[in-house]
Amino acid sequence: MYSLNVRDHFMIAHSFKGDVFGPAQKLHGATYVVDATFTRPELDADGMVVDIGRAGAQLKAILSELGYRNLDEEPAFNGLNTTTEFLAREVFDRLVMAIRAGKFGMEAHGVTSVSVTLSESHVAWGRYEGRV
Amino acid sequence: MYSLNVRDHFMIAHSFKGDVFGPAQKLHGATYVVDATFTRPELDADGMVVDIGRAGAQLKAILSELGYRNLDEEPAFNGLNTTTEFLAREVFDRLVMAIRAGKFGMEAHGVTSVSVTLSESHVAWGRYEGRV
Amino acid sequence: MYSLNVRDHFMIAHSFKGDVFGPAQKLHGATYVVDATFTRPELDADGMVVDIGRAGAQLKAILSELGYRNLDEEPAFNGLNTTTEFLAREVFDRLVMAIRAGKFGMEAHGVTSVSVTLSESHVAWGRYEGRV
Amino acid sequence: MYSLNVRDHFMIAHSFKGDVFGPAQKLHGATYVVDATFTRPELDADGMVVDIGRAGAQLKAILSELGYRNLDEEPAFNGLNTTTEFLAREVFDRLVMAIRAGKFGMEAHGVTSVSVTLSESHVAWGRYEGRV
Amino acid sequence: MYSLNVRDHFMIAHSFKGDVFGPAQKLHGATYVVDATFTRPELDADGMVVDIGRAGAQLKAILSELGYRNLDEEPAFNGLNTTTEFLAREVFDRLVMAIRAGKFGMEAHGVTSVSVTLSESHVAWGRYEGRV
Amino acid sequence: MYSLNVRDHFMIAHSFKGDVFGPAQKLHGATYVVDATFTRPELDADGMVVDIGRAGAQLKAILSELGYRNLDEEPAFNGLNTTTEFLAREVFDRLVMAIRAGKFGMEAHGVTSVSVTLSESHVAWGRYEGRV
């Protein structure tokens, strides 16, 4: 299997609900450094997994929909804990939707799985990976 | 699949037996930066893979049983080469035991696999991953 | 000159005032990975710059006063933009105060300068350094 | 599964053919930081995945066949785009050939899969992984 | 002193003249990950060292003048070895020129020194730092 | 000022004397990732700070005199605590001696200062810097 990874980041405010979260129940925030990895069994005709330029642009567009926001006030996340692993799934879903909509180009339909890793600090990260 | 990773480190002395190890047959030591990754198909009711606070505390407790020691003198490792990949398995076994014993909380029983990576320098690491 | 660095992190929400900040004028947040570096011309009697255990504990205590908060609501920062470089100075001031108060131990009075670096992402950091 | 990773790098010039590559159609170059990961279900008699010394030496030998070259002039790559993911496969093929030829030692025949990651910058990497 | 750093990268082909360079006398290439650090004694009225958005945009513009090129064919570098440390100075000169030309905004005239670090691999980097 | 940095590592066993060291009073060990930085005001005739090949080879030679050893049994360190910052000075002294002895080549006599950083983990490092 071949993979290609592009990295970007976004910055948000949020809080968590539940005693298990301790001080993180208060409004705080995070920088998430995002690694989006695209995987497929064979390269396309140009020798690529995906067009790295498009991949980076699509990731940036998706992260701009999430970043510089208080996620507690986003209707889409109402009543949900926007943990690192939850947000990794959110970015995954939006990337897969963009691939299916042709925003990565026709060749990208060969991508069979995607992995999204959100690093929240130098000591912790969350990930979601699944099939396209 | 969702994953969550926590990082910590420990520092030990040891030596290896066997000509293949060259100068590492002499007593020396290492810092191991440890990445413990927990994976499961669905998030728990709080939106988490595992309670990150508990995961970090359990990892620290396990590493404190190994760190600041000369592993050559530990009865548990008698006659064994405590290579990076061997120690990754050791940390894996102890983490899985702690999960089963409920030390990560009841919700953590949804964890289906664990991966432990020990980075011994900027150019080498060892890993063990398996099912819980 | 000898130096010793310890690293930790904190997570906050905040917003900025001024057109120059663009979308960062909205409430968002950040993880800051903090490197606190202590420098002195000669080592102490134990061969150290500072007691690394105390340095780590003091840094953690100071970051816990800042973390898991909305900095927009902290009276101390009223009317100020809590940029990365501004917060680096804030951590610097609190570390220097702790050194002077003896919280790093008597030997730490040999420290002549401190540098505090806050990494806000994989592509940007701010720093303040000055004499003790 | 147990894994061991060794890291090294190589530096090349090349250009790409196809409008999709934009400015990268001009002759330019790259540093590739290479992570070669070897995986097997059980450790060998010495407690290793592979002899780390041999693994590092073999990787260095393979990278020296690729580095300090203009890949556009290498007959082996004639008419091909030497993208990061393509080159990851190239290094993979050469490592697998070396394992089969016994250059990693007889014990290394227990290796069941290899993964090769080429980091081309702080924001992008390509990978190929497959069975030995 | 306060500092702010922004990071970006560029990719080039080149070769070196002189026996001391060994195999690097052949045409090859490199990725340079660039850290541009701006330093000043006091923050501006907005609480910043420089406008981080402008700093990133200016750095990107300067690197786009250098990247995706064979530096051996650039008249500006005729007869010169474009080593990592030499290129760090080149980026420094262009950043300082941009600051003086007002491209970082009027507030940036408070910047007193700039440091430019080019990382060519995981094991080597070059730097130039000087006064504005 | 121009700088060039090369990185390598060494692995040792040791213990510390003094209550301040807590559990590190027991025999343990460390990996030190070493950054050796050479600085000078002007480049040499080849456009370099130092010959990077020689710098890497000299650093490796010096670290091989320290690595794969129990530092508690080295006569040179008898009665001393081989802390990270202490060892940074030790590597500094040996590098400066090598420069003066001409082992970096005649051009390297233009180097005016050297900095040696030893990273002992992902959260701590020690450094010594001084004039040649």
Name the band, by pLDDT with cuts 50, 70 and 90, for residue B29. very high
**H or E, element range at A55:** helix A52-66
The pLDDT of B61-89, averaged and rounded, is 98
What is the interface size between A and C, counted as CB pairs within 8 Å?
81
- Please report how the helices E84-100 and E52-66 are oriented relative to each other, as an axis angle in degrees rounded to 10: 130
The CA distance from B3 to B1, in Å, is 7
Asked if A20 lies within 8 A of B56 by C-beta distance, the reply is no
What pLDDT, on the 0 to 100 scale, is given for residue A63?
98
Q: Which of B8, B35, B43, B106 to mutate to test the interface with A (most CBs of A within 10 A)?
A: B43
Across the interface, of A7, A43, A49, the residue whose CB is closest to D123 is: A7
pLDDT band at E43 (very low <50, low <70, confident <90, very high): very high
Subunits with 3+ C-beta pairs closer than 8 A to C: A, D, E, F
Q: How many CB pairs under 8 A join B and D?
A: 58
Question: Average pLDDT of D89-95?
Answer: 98
Average pLDDT, chain F: 98
B109 pLDDT band (50/70/90 cuts)? very high
Residues 6 or more apart whose CB falls under 8 angstroms from that of C122 comprise A7, A9, A33, D122, D123, E7
Question: How sure is the predictor about E27, in pLDDT bands with cuts at 50, 70 and 90?
Answer: very high
Average pLDDT, chain D: 98
Phi-psi region at F45: left, alpha or beta (left = phi > 0; alpha = psi -120 to 50)? alpha
Q: How sure is the predictor about F50, in pLDDT bands with cuts at 50, 70 and 90?
A: very high
Which of left, alpha, beta for D86 (phi over 0: left; psi -120 to 50: alpha)? Answer: alpha
Distances (CA, A) of F36 to B33, F50, F52, F102, F103: 22, 12, 11, 17, 15
The number of beta carbons lying within 10 Å of the beta carbon of residue E63 is: 20
> What is the pLDDT, as a whole number, of residue E52?
97
Mean pLDDT value across residues F47-61 = 98
What percentage of chain F's residues is helix, strand, coil (to nearest 5)? 40, 35, 30
Of E2, E8, E105, the CB nearest to C85: E2
Confidence at residue F102, expressed as pLDDT on a 0 to 100 scale: 97
pLDDT of residue F56: 98
Q: What is the mean pLDDT of residues D102-117?
A: 96
Mean pLDDT by 10 residues, chain C (132 residues): 98 97 98 98 97 98 98 97 98 98 95 98 98 97
The pair of structure tokens assigned to E116 is 């430019």
Residues 6+ apart with CB under 8 A from B69: B12, B13, F26, F27, F28
- Per run of 10 residues, the mean pLDDT along chain A (length 132 residues) is 98 97 98 98 97 98 98 97 98 98 95 98 98 97
Q: How confident is the model at residue B74 (pLDDT cuts 50, 70, 90)?
A: very high
* Euclidean distance between CA atoms F108 and F100, whole angstroms: 9
3-state secondary structure of A102: coil
Residue D108 has what pLDDT? 94
CA distance C68 to chain F (A): 21
Residue-level pLDDT at A35: 98
pLDDT at D56: 98
Q: What is the β-pairing status of strands B69-70 and B2-14?
A: parallel
Contact between residue E87 and residue E2 where contact means Cβ atoms under 8 Å apart:
no
Q: DSSP of F9-65, one letter per residue?
A: EEEEEE---SGGGGGGGSSEEEEEEEEEEEEESS--TTS-SS-HHHHHHHHHHHHHH
User: Which residues in chain D have Cβ-Cβ distances shorter than 8 Å to A46?
Assistant: 16, 18, 20-21, 81, 83
Please report which confidence band the pLDDT of residue E6 belongs to, taking 50, 70 and 90 as the band edges. very high
Beta-carbon neighbour count of residue B131 at 10 Å?
9
Phi, psi angle pair for C31, to nearest 5°: -95, 130
Cβ-based neighbour number of residue A17 at 10 Å: 13
Q: What is the pLDDT of residue B25?
A: 98
Calculate the alpha carbon distances from A42 to A1, A39, D69, D89 in Å: 7, 9, 26, 11
The rounded distance, in Å, linking the Cα atoms of C16 and C25 is 5
The token duo for B17 is: 């037996």
Q: Rounded to 5 degrees, what are φ and ψ at F17?
A: -110, 125
Query: Residue A114 is encoded by which pair of tokens?
Result: 């995607």
The pair of structure tokens assigned to A117 is 């890793």
pLDDT bucket at F10, cuts 50 / 70 / 90: very high
